Chains A and B, each alone.
Chain A
Amino acid sequence: MSELIEGFLGKSIEGRKSRLPAKLDYLQSATGLFLGLFMWGHMFFVSSILISKDFMYAVARFFEGSFIFEEPKPGLVSIVVAVVFLIFIVHAALGMRKLPANFRQWQVYRTHMKMMSHEDTTLWFIQAITGFAMFFMGSAHLFLMLTQPSTIGPFGSGDRMVFMWPFYLLLLLAVEFHGGIGLYRLSVKWGWFEGENAKQTRATLKKVKWAITVFFLALGTLTLVAYLKIGLENIDQNRVGQKYAPTTQIHEIYQAKVRA
């Protein structure tokens, strides 16, 4: 009965306001923070290809449990992806509450934004648009990783880039803008790092935000190109769809043959 009353009045049976809006606000930030930081780590993992194919291979094998199991277990990757997917969905559901919900809201915000040319107001709009785009792009990518984790590797990922690079370029832009702005917004929203002079801190945070965005966009683009190059080489060498064999492994096979 109390649930009925609370839903009906928006107040608990003690006549108090629901604590849920506070929890949702907190959860929006917590999921955003997780995703934002996760994307930093994620970028470092995928950019391992810039060091060498072997290194990227080792990183990929690591996530398949190479530290425990002899055989690669792509299922482990699926589990991690599933958890991230879940957090992503929760974050998107919460973010949705903030998006313009009808034409008038859209129109009034656009007009206001153009009139004011106020940076943080414009940045919010970019965050909303990129967030909306990620409903689809983020889901598509996560679904792919969830269902085909074994294809992740220097060759597999390279092959994927050959036909999917425009998609990944857009996703990269969306993630870096959305996440970068989001982390900045988190800091000002909760007053992190505020110190003595909040205005000064905010200006610094804004600079750091842009630096981070540029850094990750550059790293991401280089990484994308590196995979694309491998994919094109694979076509040239007629080995599309093959699994990458690390040099040490080839070396071992060679040694075994020599010994035999």
Chain B
Amino acid sequence: MSRTITIKALKYNPNSKVSKPHVAEYKLEETDGMTLFVALSKIRETMDPDLSFDFVCRAGICGSCGMMVNGKPALACRTLTKNYESGVLELFPMPAFKLIKDLSVDTGNWMNDMSKRVESWIHTNEEVDFSKLEKPIEPEVAQEVFELDRCIECGICVAACGTKLMRPNFVGAVGLNRVARFELDPHDNRTIEDYYELVGDDDGIFGCMSLLACEDNCPKHLPLQSKIAYMRRKLVSLR
């Protein structure tokens, strides 16, 4: 049985002098297995060509479609409209990121800065010889590292974080998870001292107030709570 759903979306262009922030309302027929991606595309095609939002993969892989759905951050391409019983979905752009227009925010540059900030690459003095086989690594360790590598940089953990919203310089769960990922990786020769230099302050690990909305909203179900606690224990135990 199909029903009519209501999509409300914040419309605002911060770069325009005449644009006033307001919530636009669209009504459309729900189709089978409709995702927010499908609904928004339909709205853009048939009702409002001016509505801005981001999508790339439509499969929960690229991490570009995060937005606030009825107050909670989610990947729009993985959000089924039928799960919203009231049939009303109120969409806001994710806070904490630079608003481009309407539902579109700039997570890319933020993630770039974050990667540089936590030096998100393998630090080693070893020369890698590509003609040789890679050094073996314990399967369990590799598994653990890959687990944390599943992050798609969607920014949902950042938008969910009350600490980050109050204190814009906070690295956020995605950054702390990244540090934990390299700390676990035996290819990386950095020590705890080195990681302390990156996140050992109140904008880093000690700024986290353990609200755990990151953990509860991460679409990839990364173990953010455990990894942040782990890094906190490590960094606090330094002399």
Main secondary structure on chain A at its contact with chain B? helix
- Per-position 1/0 for B208-222, Cβ under 8 A of A: 111111001100000
- Per-position 1/0 for A61-74, Cβ under 8 A of B: 00000000000000
Given contacts A22-B200, A22-B236, A124-B209, contact A112 B72 (CB under 8 A): no
- Per-position 1/0 for A136-163, Cβ under 8 A of B: 0000000000000000000000000000
- Interface size of B by Cβ–Cβ distance < 8 Å? 36
Q: Which of A191-212 contact B (CB under 8 A)?
A: 191, 194, 198-199, 202
Q: List 15 A-B contacts (CB under 8 A).
A: A19-B196, A21-B201, A21-B206, A22-B236, A24-B206, A25-B232, A25-B236, A108-B165, A112-B95, A112-B165, A115-B72, A188-B225, A189-B229, A191-B225, A202-B225
Among B71, B160, B201, B212, which residue has its beta carbon within 8 angstroms of that of A188?
Answer: B212
Complex: chain B residue closest to A11, CB-CB: B197
Complex: chain B residue closest to A190, CB-CB: B229
Q: Which of A112-139 contact B (CB under 8 A)?
A: 112-118, 120-121, 124
- Per-position 1/0 for A246-258, Cβ under 8 A of B: 0000000000000
Given contacts A21-B200, A118-B160, A120-B212, contact A191 B166 (CB under 8 A): no
Interface pair A191/B233, CB less than 8 Å apart: yes
- Interface size of A by Cβ–Cβ distance < 8 Å? 34
Complex: chain A residue closest to B237, CB-CB: A22
Interface pair B68/A115, CB less than 8 Å apart: yes
Which residues does chain B contribute within 8 Å of A259, judged by CB atoms? none
Which residues does chain B contribute within 8 Å of A185, judged by CB atoms? 210
Which residues does chain A contribute within 8 Å of B160, judged by CB atoms? 116, 118
Q: Is A26 an interface residue (CB 8 A)?
A: yes
Q: Is A239 an interface residue (CB 8 A)?
A: no
Interface pair A97/B202, CB less than 8 Å apart: yes
Least Cβ distance of B29 to chain A in Å? 28
Given contacts A105-B166, A194-B226, contact A120 B71 (CB under 8 A): no
